[in-house]
Amino acid sequence: MISLLVLRRRRTERSITYAAITIAIAMTLSVDAVYAPVDALLGGSNGGTLIADAALMIGVFFLGRGIMKAAEYRPLPVRIALGSATLVVALVALVIAFLLIDTGSTTTNFMLDLGSQPAAAAYSIIQFTYYGIVVAAMGAVAIRQFRLRTGIQRVPAASLIIGAVLGVSLSIGVIVMDVTHLAGNLDLMTAVGTLYGPLFLLTFVFLCVGLAGQPALRYLSERKRLTQTQSFVQQLTPLWDAATRVRPGLRQRGATAIRLEDPETVLHREVVEIRDAMIDPRVEFDPTSEDRQLLERAEAHLLGSDAR
C-alpha cells in the first residue's frame, strides 16, 4: 500500500490513493492486537469486523476503478462490475446480513466461531462474491492491456491478470468454506481453509505489483526519453549555432534563456531552425550527411513523442 501511495502521489487521479488507505485500514483491523481494543470501544459485539470488511470492499472497489480509468477498454459489463451502484448494493446487503447474525462478544475468529449461522454464511458469501466480480472485471481489463503492449510493458498487466485469477480462486474457496461450514462438513472446510492465507496474500501482492508497476515503468520511460532528448540537444547544438550564424534572425532569444527551457522544447526549436536555414535560398547552409542523419534521428525522436 505504501508503494502505491508513493508512486501515485503526484497523480490527479486519486482512486489508487483511496484504495491504499481503505485497504490499509482493513488490514490493520485484521491484526488481533488492534482489533480487540477497537471492537471493545465499539461495544464488544464485533462491529469492528463489519468496519474492516466494508473498508476492504471499498478498497477493492477503488483498485478496480483505478485500473479501469487507466485503460481505454471499458465494456458495459466491466463498468457495471466496477460501478458505484454495485458497491452500494453489496454494502447494503452486507450490513443487513451482519445485523441478522447473533454476533455475541468480541472474537478474532469471526467466521470460525459464527460461520454455522446462515446469516454469517450469507455475510461472507456477499463479500467474496463482490470481490470475485470486481477482480474478474479487473482481469478482463488487464488482458486487454496485455495484448496491446509488448516487452517489459506487459509485466504490470501480467501481474494484474495473475492477481485477478488468484482473487477469483480465493473468492470461490471462501464460498466453498462457507457452504461446507453451514453444512457441517468441517473436514472439507478445514482442507480448503489451508489455501486461504496464501491466496489472500498472493492476490494483493500481484495486484499491488501490477498497479505499482505501471507508474514505475512510466517514470523509467520518461527518464529514458529525457536522457535521449538531452543527448540530441547536445549533439545538435553545434549545427544549430552554425545555422543561427548564417541566419541570425532565427535567434529571437538569448542562448542562456533558450537553454533554460524544457529539453523537448529546445530540441524542437533547434530542429525547426536548422531546417529553416537549410531551405532558405538567401543563405548558404549545407550540413554534412552525418549532420543530416543526426537531424533526421532527432526529428524521429520528436515524432515518436507526438505519436505516443
**Does residue 167 sit in the same domain as residue 25?**
yes
**Does residue 141 sit in the same domain as residue 242?**
no
**Does residue 125 sit in the same domain as residue 68?**
yes
Q: Which residues contact 162 (CB under 8 A, 6 or more apart)?
A: 206
**Does residue 234 sit in the same domain as residue 187?**
no
Count of domains forming the chain: 2
The lowest-confidence range among 50-54, 85-89, 170-174, 227-231 is 227-231
**Does residue 236 sit in the same domain as residue 137?**
no
Task: Give domain status of residue 134, yes or no.
Answer: yes
**Does residue 19 sit in the same domain as residue 141?**
yes
pLDDT, tens digit, for every residue of 254-289?
Answer: 554 455 568 888 898 889 888 888 888 888 888 899
Instruction: State the pLDDT at residue 98.
Output: 96
Q: Which DSSP state fits 283?
A: S
Task: Give domain status of residue 212, yes or no.
Answer: no
Q: Give the residue among 30, 26, 3 at the shortest CA–CA distance from 16.
A: 3
CB atoms within 10 A of CB 184: 9
Q: Which residues contact 93 (CB under 8 A, 6 or more apart)?
A: 126
pLDDT, tens digit, for every residue of 185-225?
Answer: 999 999 999 999 899 889 988 988 887 787 778 788 888 88
**Does residue 139 sit in the same domain as residue 28?**
yes
Give the domain extent around 59. Answer: 2-194
Task: Give domain status of residue 68, yes or no.
Answer: yes
**Does residue 259 sit in the same domain as residue 163?**
no
Q: Give the residue among 300, 285, 279 at the shortest CA–CA distance from 239.
A: 285
CA–CA dist 237, 223 (Å, integer)? 21
CA–CA dist 289, 294 (Å, integer)? 9
Maximum alpha-carbon separation in the chain: 95
Of 194, 213, 244, the position where a domain reaches its end is: 194
**Does residue 265 sit in the same domain as residue 160?**
no
Task: Give domain status of residue 42, yes or no.
Answer: yes
User: pTM of the full predicted structure?
Assistant: 0.74
Instruction: State the pLDDT at residue 252.
Output: 52
pLDDT, tens digit, for every residue of 35-84?
Answer: 999 999 999 999 999 999 999 999 999 988 887 877 767 788 888 999 99
Task: Give domain status of residue 244, yes or no.
Answer: yes
CA–CA dist 62, 56 (Å, integer)? 10
Instruction: State the pLDDT at residue 249.
Output: 59
